[in-house]
Amino acid sequence: MIRRGKMDTRGNSGPKKGIRITERKLGKHRAVGLAHVEERLIEVDPRQSSKDYLDTLVHELLHIIGPSKEWPEETVEKVANIITVHLWKAGFRRIYD
């Protein structure tokens, strides 16, 4: 479930700290999402459709946690799109509290 506001997720991949996910308008950055890898922080612009928001979140997560640190941006986009399509088909949606 994707919730509005700040989230702190803990992975099972060793002693690394969790990933913080925040929302803010990113228009001045000409982006809908930003991944701050060293800080393990993801910023997502909330002004997106639910499906686009999910795709942005998956995309930015790949930058932080995946082998995608070495993938070209085009590959990150393709993998994020594939994951998003399957999550969407499985019924995952953004819920507003």
Arithmetic mean of pLDDT over the chain: 85
Q: Which two tokens stand for residue 91?
A: 């019924």
Q: How far apart are CA 26 and CA 44, in angstroms?
A: 8
The residue ranking higher by pLDDT, 26 or 13, is 26
The continuous run of DSSP H or E covering 65 comes out as helix 50-65
Q: Domains of the chain, with CATH numbers?
A: 7-89 (3.30.2010)
Q: What's the pLDDT at 50?
A: 94
Partners of 41 in the β-ladder? 20, 36
> 11 pLDDT band (50/70/90 cuts)?
very low
Interval 43-56: pLDDT, tens? 999 999 999 999 99
Q: How far apart are CA 76 and CA 48, in angstroms?
A: 19
- End-to-end CA, the chain: 11
b (16+ CB within 10 A) / e for 23-38: beebeeeeebbbbeee
